[in-house]
Amino acid sequence: MSDYETTFKLLDADGDGLISPDELVRLMDILGQPITIERAEAAVKQLDLDGDGLINVQELGNFLDW
Ligand SMILES: [Ca+2]
Ligand SMILES: [Ca+2]
């Protein structure tokens, strides 16, 4: 398992293989840097390459490579 996948599993709270803005909000809460759902949606939009409004493991990988 790659580091990306490990990170991804931490982010993917419901285990559906995709990270939603909701899950991003939850994560930032855990990290002690709460963000609004609007900000989470904007962040997901930036990472979202295929336009489905969710982050998959490839899209996260691209982000972490950056
Ligand atoms: Ca999910
Ligand atoms: Ca996507």
Confidence (pTM): 0.80
Is the domain 3-65 a CATH 1.10.238.10 member? yes
Nearest ligand atom owner, CA of 14: 1
Give phi and psi for 55, each to the nearest 5: -105, 125
Q: Give the ligand with the smallest distance to the CA of 63.
A: 2
Using DSSP, how many helices (H) and how many strands (E) does the chain show?
4, 0
- Which ligand is closest in space to the CA of residue 20? 1
Angle formed at CA 25 by CA 4 and CA 55, multiple of 5 degrees: 40
Per-residue pLDDT tens over the stretch 34-56: 999 999 999 999 999 999 999 99
Q: How far is the CA of 54 from the centre of ligand 2 (A)?
A: 5
Q: Give the per-residue pLDDT at 64.
A: 78
What residue ranges do the domains of the chain occupy? 3-65
The pLDDT assigned to 50 comes to 96
Q: Are 48 and 14 in contact (CB under 8 A)?
A: no
- Class of residue 35 by CB neighbours under 10 A (exposed 0-12, middle 13-18, buried 19+): middle
- For residue 66, name the pLDDT band (cuts at 50, 70, 90): low
